[in-house]
Amino acid sequence: MKKLLWGALLLLALGALGLLPFHASDAAKLLPVKTVVVTRSGEEYVVDVGAGLRAVGRSISEALERLRELAPGELFLPTADQVIITEPEAGAVEAVAEESEFRPATGIYLCPDPSPDPAAISAYLDSHPSNTTVLDLRAALAAGKRPVLPRLLPVEGGFLVA
């Protein structure tokens, strides 16, 4: 019984000091992200997650950090199912593969610039999943190969996966 009491007191003390390895989030403030659009513009990356949330940074991580600062709630990237990389993709494919914020199962697409609105294309991409994921991309780049990524081609009234 004493061990249980000491354990509970230790957890309370660590929680009060903010030293626990997890943090609580108010679910009402979470902003789940479905689709992320990454554009390389010169030496900077533009990251767009829809709903008017767009940020620029020298890296994708920096742009995502700025997005978190701009967001009216807590940006929640584990729900992202797709990453769209706009063309020309010089360096952006490698940067997406290196970004640890993206789940390994997240699908990857290439798209000509200007890219679609992430919120508008999410439903279409849900029914046309990518055959290449972030994990596939990481594995191919580690092996010195460059995978062929599915492309979103603009057609009248929308896009087509090719």
Residues in the chain: 162
**Contact status, residue 125 vs residue 81, Cβ threshold 8 Å:** yes
Which comes out higher in pLDDT, residue 55 or 5?
A: 55
| 46 contacts: CB under 8 Å, gap ≥ 6 | 38, 39, 40, 54, 55, 56, 63
| 77 contacts: CB under 8 Å, gap ≥ 6 | 33, 36, 64, 101, 102
Boundaries of every domain in the chain: 30-161
18-51 pLDDT per residue, tens = 666 655 556 667 788 999 999 998 899 999 998 8
Task: State the pLDDT at residue 3.
Answer: 76
Q: Cα 28 to the chain's mean position, in Å?
A: 20
Residue 10 has φ and ψ, to the nearest 5°, of -65, -45
72-119 pLDDT per residue, tens = 888 888 889 999 999 888 789 999 999 999 999 999 999 987 778 888
